[in-house]
Structure 1
């Protein structure tokens, strides 16, 4: 009988120890789950409260500096400026390691075709919101070139089409005009959308001006191809934005596909108001902002937390 009591007592002690161990394991598991949970606080800390930017002289770099100075949730953050190439290298390394990073971003750019990244919502429109990139013509262009003007008005590209072409240029290490030569062959159906039902041209010569950004060269050279397929000769000249607007307003150029409005080129548009015609968007939803890889569990700039 005594032996039986001792046995039962021993079994009871073993059971207590097992239950206690299970309880510790459960607590540790819960603790580990809590430790691994991503929150705005932990993500901001893993980012070292740093926005990875581009060239310090870029317009959006000034916007980011102002944000850090004035937005409560960005107090104590650092804006790491360097170059676009350096920013893209940091982004690539972070994605390879599946680490959080927040970058200065803009569209169109091949980064959105190459990587799974997303803009953080900008509820206060700190970056000013989306823009349309418009086609502008000189006064009298439609009267002098009615057939060409119809093609220009029909011309429109989707943003993701431009970004895919920019990625081709980057990966193949060839200039954008050469990318266009292949693209128009592979996308004849899109070109036909601009020219279907339009009469052949009369062989006139059209002067097109465009900024030197690759994102603007691609639409310009696609339009050049569409016009030349209808009998026109098109000369494309790269200029800075001020000269682009002045050339259209003075009549020394006929058309551009590269007017970012209402924000980026708004001052030029206002200065030359009434001296050009708007011919619709070349593409839409151009923007600047902060972006993160899609695996980062943030949705808005306001989700970032201060470095306290």
Structure 2
């Protein structure tokens, strides 16, 4: 199968304002007017893009607001430009992400829960993988790490190659890696197909499990694809596994469509989150604080 490379990101919003304590920071209506009641989003069709539309429909104060669908690169470029000019902007984002290390941000409360709350990143495998590659299956099933672990790799991968950063992390955390491989036999060169999505979070976790398996003698081919293709590939057996699905919200529709055709090995990370985000100095704590048009 020839995989179609795409991108998918989860949703948050970051509101970056001109000068702490400025009139714009204090006047919520001025902020809404400045951004023209527009949130700069990511790719159309992404799970969090759909969640954003649902959230804007659910909150009365967001009626009349617009979600400007763009791309991940476009959204980040708009964010960086706004920061340089010290202008307000509302963007789509997520955690873990390096912007939370670069800037002092906070997640807005979501009283209606339409953004889905805390997310898990799951591991899924094709039917039959356990019987055909039992040792690899054990390692994949054992794989799990913390939000802080992932954040460290994502942050260090901003300006360095992920393979280099992951190798460094594995050396510093050899005890965790040993737990994943404990009791398994090394491979004599079996090949595994790993599918992922091109988010930094999934680039980190996929590169990590790839290197762990390669350390056990496997040859791992990793391909970044759109989320729909990721689920389809594992469900059809054209890929062996993925450590990239976000649930229960972000990839819910794909998960439900293919659920009977793959093994769900459970969470490999908990605590990821989608939501609207503002800098900590902004006197807005809830989605309900955003001003209506």
2:195 is equivalent to residue 204 of structure 1 = no
- Distance, in Å, in 2 between the alignment partners of 1:109 and 1:126 is 21
User: Which residue number corresponds to residue 41 of structure 2?
Assistant: 54
Tell me if the contact between 1:65 and 1:79 (Cα under 8 Å) persists in the aligned partners.
yes
Quote the offset at 1:108 in angstroms.
2.8
Q: TM-score, normalised by structure 2?
A: 0.77
Between 1 and 2, higher relative CO (CA 8 Å, sep ≥ 6) is seen in 2
Quote the offset at 1:150 in angstroms.
1.3
User: Which residue number corresponds to residue 89 of structure 1?
Assistant: 80
Q: TM-score, normalised by structure 1?
A: 0.74
Higher relative helix content: 1
2:275 is equivalent to residue 284 of structure 1 = no
Which structure 1 residue ranges, 5 or more long, are not aligned? Answer: 1-35
User: Which residue number corresponds to residue 10 of structure 2?
Assistant: none
Tell me if the contact between 2:233 and 2:239 (Cα under 8 Å) persists in the aligned partners.
yes
Quote the offset at 1:258 in angstroms.
1.1
Of 247-256 and 179-188, the range deviating more from structure 2: 179-188
2:125 is equivalent to residue 141 of structure 1 = no
User: Which residue number corresponds to residue 195 of structure 1?
Assistant: 181
Tell me: CA distance 1:140–1:298, structure 2 relative to 1, closer, same or farther (3 Å).
same
2:146 is equivalent to residue 158 of structure 1 = yes
- Distance, in Å, in 2 between the alignment partners of 1:147 and 1:61 is 38
Tell me: CA distance 1:102–1:246, structure 2 relative to 1, closer, same or farther (3 Å).
closer
2:239 is equivalent to residue 256 of structure 1 = no
Tell me: CA distance 1:181–1:92, structure 2 relative to 1, closer, same or farther (3 Å).
farther
User: Which residue number corresponds to residue 9 of structure 2?
Assistant: none
- Distance, in Å, in 2 between the alignment partners of 1:269 and 1:77 is 30
Tell me: CA distance 1:119–1:152, structure 2 relative to 1, closer, same or farther (3 Å).
same
- Distance, in Å, in 1 between the alignment partners of 2:23 and 2:59 is 20
Which SS does the other structure have where 1:273 is aligned? helix
Q: What CA deviation, in whole Å up to 9, does each residue of 1:91-145 have, x standing for no partner?
A: 6448xx6x87654321232112222211101111222333222111111111222
Tell me: CA distance 1:93–1:48, structure 2 relative to 1, closer, same or farther (3 Å).
farther
Quote the offset at 1:284 in angstroms.
2.1
Which SS does the other structure have where 2:288 is aligned? helix
Which structure 2 residue ranges, 5 or more long, are not aligned? Answer: 1-19
Structure number, greater radius of gyration: 1
